[in-house]
Amino acid sequence: MTAPEIDPRSSDALLAGELIDAWPFLSAEERAEGFRLLATPEAEDLFLGLEARDQATLLLALPRTERQLWIRQLAPDDAADVLQEVSDEAERLALQELIDLETRREVGALLAYAEDAAGGLMSPRYARLRPEMRVDEAISYLRRQAQTNLETIYYIYVLDAEQRLIGVVSFRELFAAPPEATVRDVMRDQIVTVPDDMDQEAVAGVIAEHDLMAVPVVDGQGRLRGIVTVDDIVDVVREEATEDIQKIGGTSALDAPYLQVGLGEMVRKRVGWLAVLFLGSLLTATVIGHYEYEIAKAVVLALFIPLIISSGGNSGSQATTLVIRALAIGELRLRDWWRVLLKEVASGLALGAILGVIGFVRVWVWPGPDPTDQTVLIAFTVAASLVGIVLWGSLVGAMLPFLLSRLGFDPASASAPFVATIVDVTGLVLYFSVAALLLTGTLL
Amino acid sequence: MTAPEIDPRSSDALLAGELIDAWPFLSAEERAEGFRLLATPEAEDLFLGLEARDQATLLLALPRTERQLWIRQLAPDDAADVLQEVSDEAERLALQELIDLETRREVGALLAYAEDAAGGLMSPRYARLRPEMRVDEAISYLRRQAQTNLETIYYIYVLDAEQRLIGVVSFRELFAAPPEATVRDVMRDQIVTVPDDMDQEAVAGVIAEHDLMAVPVVDGQGRLRGIVTVDDIVDVVREEATEDIQKIGGTSALDAPYLQVGLGEMVRKRVGWLAVLFLGSLLTATVIGHYEYEIAKAVVLALFIPLIISSGGNSGSQATTLVIRALAIGELRLRDWWRVLLKEVASGLALGAILGVIGFVRVWVWPGPDPTDQTVLIAFTVAASLVGIVLWGSLVGAMLPFLLSRLGFDPASASAPFVATIVDVTGLVLYFSVAALLLTGTLL
């Protein structure tokens, strides 16, 4: 929540600007070298504006004596994030030792939570009041608290003697209240809270739905453990969307900016799904092999194989991305699957009919190198297969995210290529079955 | 920035809970009917928590006499959003007339901006101070401002006589400063601002990058026009990610929740791309028709058509989604295209080699119904084609978003199905060319 400010007039600021610009393309050593050339205010702005991953590599690249200075600039939740980015156990403990005693205790408590849970995201530095305080006492008490490093004073939390959260008052409300009222008089006692083990995507949903600036995190006993502020949520929402998009494209989540992922890592993140899908696709050869006799008799059937299967893949890709996103942002719940099924049956039939008509016209009007008397039959085969496969693609694409989610997997794993591969294999069976049905006795 | 609070103990709250749960599945009339049954606090919480689109339909479904009460509950930026959702001109003007005079003036100014620009997103209700004020004067002046409807008092903006933004001070800093200092002494004069015509996705980038709670919006003369707060940005980030995901899947952005899109609208949003891709796919039939003679001589070639083209489509889908997302969140800039090209050449070759080896083994070890002496040649043809097509898919997928962006289109239009279709057509040419090269004189 600090605003890095860069004065375009000073040469230090110029240097800082160049450094930030070149940042993604520098090695850890080059970054540390550039960083140490900066004047303190610019270095502070740069350091505090970095992602946790970059802060960690920078700290490790600095001389030991300077690490302490910098890690102590971080709020406990940010320090915990940095420590979680250090994979080497010994390095991590050494960094943790550099933090001052009180913050280290707070960091330790945060590290006990999963990185992507509310507890791992929260800051323990919230403003707090006791219910029996008078408003004017509360304001001067807050004035002293505000001189320490609070995450926000937008909301102030009212705790009883057991640290249980009993109310909340916005600073504005407190400020506008009569000085002689008590905090209990002005606080609201119905509070939106999240449990400390809630997944960060769900926390983002709560904050977005209620338009909150911060949400309190409570443990099983109703004790306030910390707050998650909306600015942290912006990062969460971006990260989660990035992961979903990468999965929809058929890659494992990269977890780092594209240009910073090394070649080996990039291939590893991509080859998994690609190989699985390839093995699945091998079945297409088996299916076609099964119909080799039919193709030998009517080579014209081979012409429309890619057209048929890619139409199924495309409609499947549309349906799966629509459903994955709607599930992710809470527009759809698992129990809505049958509403989606009904909608996709209708859409799939309509879309299939439109493509079927275009396909029929294409085959009939412009039948290729050697038209036969059976051209109209082939056109019917293609059109009927298109209706079937677009419907089938829409259903597979729409239902697979629900199925994966029900089985405990991430629905975003129902990637466009995954759906396309399933539809490719089954779609070929459909196509050749329709062909056998319509063409036996004439072409076959 | 209000927290809708629902007391689970009261029956009114129960009713409100049920209503919210059933909301997406109710008609406008049913919604209005349920809404009017609620007690005022529950109705307020429900109304203020709705999306602008739902607020608009609800308002229009209420009796005229009640509309005024509700539209006056909205801050000017929210009222402007609601008006922008009303497509009927007469209805919109009628609603606008119901707003009180001062707010109506503010709403009018906001409506002059594009909905997705900083100016369309900002709130004109920010806290402001003059630089020559003393800190204690400023605090009591703010105390009076806080009783009106400010968007946030987290940041307070310091304006000169011409309404130009000359500084900013956080409430916490002001609160912790010595009472006799002036605002000018404690304010910071290097401020992150955004121009009023900046696109909302770019505004989200600025706020996320600098971890701000709010960003001031200035016009061409440096005058402060309003502020964009981070809670509005959470919605923007979610919306933009949703649009990108839908485009990546090959659909036009739905602009409404899945279940609320009617069948006709759903088909219209999907048939466009589907038909374009279908027309593109028709070229695959032309390409295969061109090689009909080869297929008739060696039907085995047809077996591997789907395998080859879907491998190209899958690697293209991976590359395009990675690049689209990296461009959207600013990890890549247009001028980085050649870094991406180099990386994709390397990844594409590595991935292609891995799939090529698997493909070779599959064809060689398990050659299908009637193995010939030329099996090893066919295996070579498939393997070489796989290396080529995976490389080609990766390159097309990675470069198309850059190309579209350079031409002024949304890079997210380089959808997975679009890339797959391009790669299908060109990949077939590649496959049959490799086959002609390796098999002429033996099988062909």
Q: How far apart are CA A147 and CA A51, in angstroms?
A: 26
**Is A153 in contact with A118 (CB distance < 8 Å)?**
no
Whether residues B257 and A347 touch (CB distance < 8 A) is answered with no
Return all residues near A14 (Cβ < 8 A) that are at least 6 apart: A8
CA distance B41 to chain A (A): 12
Residues of chain A contacting residue B311, judged by C-beta atoms under 8 Å apart: 274, 277-278, 281
B314: tokens are 């899958």
Terminal CA-to-CA distance of chain A, rounded, Å? Answer: 72
Task: Give the model confidence (pLDDT) of A247-300 as tens digits.
Answer: 888 888 888 888 888 888 889 989 988 888 888 888 888 888 888 888 888 888
Whether residues A317 and B415 touch (CB distance < 8 A) is answered with yes
Q: How far apart are CA B251 and CA B238, in angstroms?
A: 17
Rounded to 10 degrees, what is the CA torsion of B251, B252, B256, B259? -30
Q: Does the pTM exceed 0.80?
A: no
Q: How far apart are CA B326 and CA A81, in angstroms?
A: 22
Q: Is A85 exposed, middle or buried (0-12, 13-18, 19+ CB in 10 A)?
A: middle
- For A226, list phi and psi in degrees, rounded to 5: 170, -175
Give the 3-state secondary structure of residue B135.
helix
Sheet containing A165-170: order of strands: A126-129, A152-159, A165-170
Unique residue bearing structure tokens 């007039």: A9
Chain A (393-412) residues lying within 8 Å, Cβ to Cβ, of chain B:
none
Whether residues B313 and A309 touch (CB distance < 8 A) is answered with no
- Characterize the bridge pairing of strands B194-195 and B214-218: parallel
Q: How far apart are CA A25 and CA B114, in angstroms?
A: 36
Residue of A nearest to B154 (CA): A154
Q: How far apart are CA B423 and CA B306, in angstroms?
A: 12
Report the 10 Å Cβ neighbour count for A293: 12
Residue of A nearest to B330 (CA): A257
Residues of chain B contacting residue A7, judged by C-beta atoms under 8 Å apart: 190
**Is B130 in contact with B183 (CB distance < 8 Å)?**
yes
Question: Got the DSSP string for B197-214?
Answer: T-BHHHHHHHHHHHT-SE
Query: In terms of Cα–Cα distance, which of A20, A193, A267 is closest to B348?
Result: A267
**Is B92 in contact with B52 (CB distance < 8 Å)?**
no
Give the 3-state secondary structure of residue A129.
strand
Return all residues near A187 (Cβ < 8 A) that are at least 6 apart: A131, A158, A166, A167, A168, A169
Rounded to 10 degrees, what is the CA torsion of A378, A380, A383, A386? -70
Residues of chain B contacting residue A431, judged by C-beta atoms under 8 Å apart: none
Query: Closest partner residue to A355 among B153, B275, B340, by Cβ?
Result: B275
CA distance B425 to chain A (A): 9
For B62, what's the count of Cα atoms within 13 Å in the CB-facing half-sphere? 21
B67: tokens are 């509309």
A195: tokens are 């449990």
Query: Closest partner residue to A306 among B172, B343, B424, by Cβ?
Result: B424
Whether residues A270 and B315 touch (CB distance < 8 A) is answered with yes
Residues facing residue B195 across a β-bridge: B218
CA distance B161 to chain A (A): 24
Question: Got the DSSP string for A132-191?
Answer: TSBHHHHHHHHHHHHHS--SEEEEEEEE-TT-BEEEEEEHHHHHHS-TTSBHHHH-B---
A268 touches chain B (CB under 8 A): no
CA distance B112 to chain A (A): 25
Query: Closest partner residue to A275 among B251, B306, B354, by Cβ?
Result: B354
pLDDT of B13 = 62
**Is A166 in contact with A159 (CB distance < 8 Å)?**
yes
Whether residues B238 and A233 touch (CB distance < 8 A) is answered with no
Residues of chain B contacting residue A313, judged by C-beta atoms under 8 Å apart: 310, 313, 417, 420
Query: Closest partner residue to A3 among B152, B212, B317, by Cβ?
Result: B212
ipTM score here?
Answer: 0.76
B154: tokens are 């987290």
Element spanning B215, H or E: strand B214-218
- For A45, list phi and psi in degrees, rounded to 5: -60, -45
Query: Closest partner residue to A267 among B24, B279, B347, by Cβ?
Result: B347
Query: Closest partner residue to A281 among B209, B310, B321, by Cβ?
Result: B310
Q: Is A25 exposed, middle or buried (0-12, 13-18, 19+ CB in 10 A)?
A: exposed
Residues of chain A contacting residue B368, judged by C-beta atoms under 8 Å apart: 285-286, 289, 292
Residue of B nearest to A289 (CA): B303
B51: tokens are 């999306």
Please list the helix, strand and coil fractions of chain A in percent, rounded to the nearest 5, in that order: 65, 10, 25
**Is B332 in contact with A259 (CB distance < 8 Å)?**
yes
Q: Write out residues in chain B with pLDDT < 50, as ranges.
A: 1-9
Question: Using alpha carbons only, what angle is made at residue A41 by residues A38 and A45, rounded to the nearest 5 degrees?
Answer: 90
- For B281, list phi and psi in degrees, rounded to 5: -65, -30
Whether residues A230 and B230 touch (CB distance < 8 A) is answered with yes
Length of chain B: 444
Query: In terms of Cα–Cα distance, which of B63, B113, B45 is closest to B83?
Result: B113
Rounded to 10 degrees, what is the CA torsion of B430, B434, B440, B443? -90
Per-residue pLDDT tens digits of chain A, which is 444 residues long: 444 444 444 566 667 777 877 777 788 888 888 888 888 878 888 888 788 888 998 998 888 888 888 888 888 888 888 888 888 888 888 888 888 888 888 888 888 888 788 888 888 888 889 999 999 888 888 877 766 666 676 788 999 988 899 999 987 788 878 888 999 999 988 888 999 989 888 898 888 778 788 899 999 888 999 999 887 888 888 888 888 888 888 888 888 888 888 888 889 989 988 888 888 888 888 888 888 888 888 888 888 888 999 999 999 999 999 999 898 888 888 999 999 999 999 999 999 999 999 999 988 887 655 556 678 888 999 999 999 999 999 999 999 999 999 998 889 888 888 999 999 999 999 999 999 898 887 767
CA distance A90 to chain B (A): 31
pLDDT of A316 = 93
B212 touches chain A (CB under 8 A): yes
Whether residues A5 and B191 touch (CB distance < 8 A) is answered with yes
Chain A (162-191) residues lying within 8 Å, Cβ to Cβ, of chain B:
168, 171-172, 175-176, 188, 190-191
B341 touches chain A (CB under 8 A): no
Chain B (99-138) residues lying within 8 Å, Cβ to Cβ, of chain A:
none
Whether residues A310 and B147 touch (CB distance < 8 A) is answered with no
Residues of chain A contacting residue B211, judged by C-beta atoms under 8 Å apart: 1-3, 48-49, 231
Query: Closest partner residue to B310 among A192, A238, A421, by Cβ?
Result: A421
Unique residue bearing structure tokens 């590595």: B350
Return all residues near B83 (Cβ < 8 A) that are at least 6 apart: B56, B92, B95, B96, B107, B111
Whether residues A421 and B275 touch (CB distance < 8 A) is answered with no
**Is B225 in contact with B219 (CB distance < 8 Å)?**
yes
Q: Is B129 exposed, middle or buried (0-12, 13-18, 19+ CB in 10 A)?
A: buried
Residues of chain A contacting residue B248, judged by C-beta atoms under 8 Å apart: 245, 248-249, 321, 416
Whether residues A331 and B275 touch (CB distance < 8 A) is answered with no
A276 touches chain B (CB under 8 A): no
Element spanning B167, H or E: strand B165-170
Return all residues near A146 (Cβ < 8 A) that are at least 6 apart: A127, A153, B172, B175, B176
Q: Is A14 exposed, middle or buried (0-12, 13-18, 19+ CB in 10 A)?
A: middle
Question: Got the DSSP string for A274-300?
Answer: HHHHHHHHHHHHHHHHHTHHHHHH-TH
DSSP A115: T
Whether residues B313 and A313 touch (CB distance < 8 A) is answered with yes
Whether residues A188 and B3 touch (CB distance < 8 A) is answered with yes
Residues of chain B contacting residue A24, judged by C-beta atoms under 8 Å apart: 331
Whether residues A310 and B281 touch (CB distance < 8 A) is answered with yes
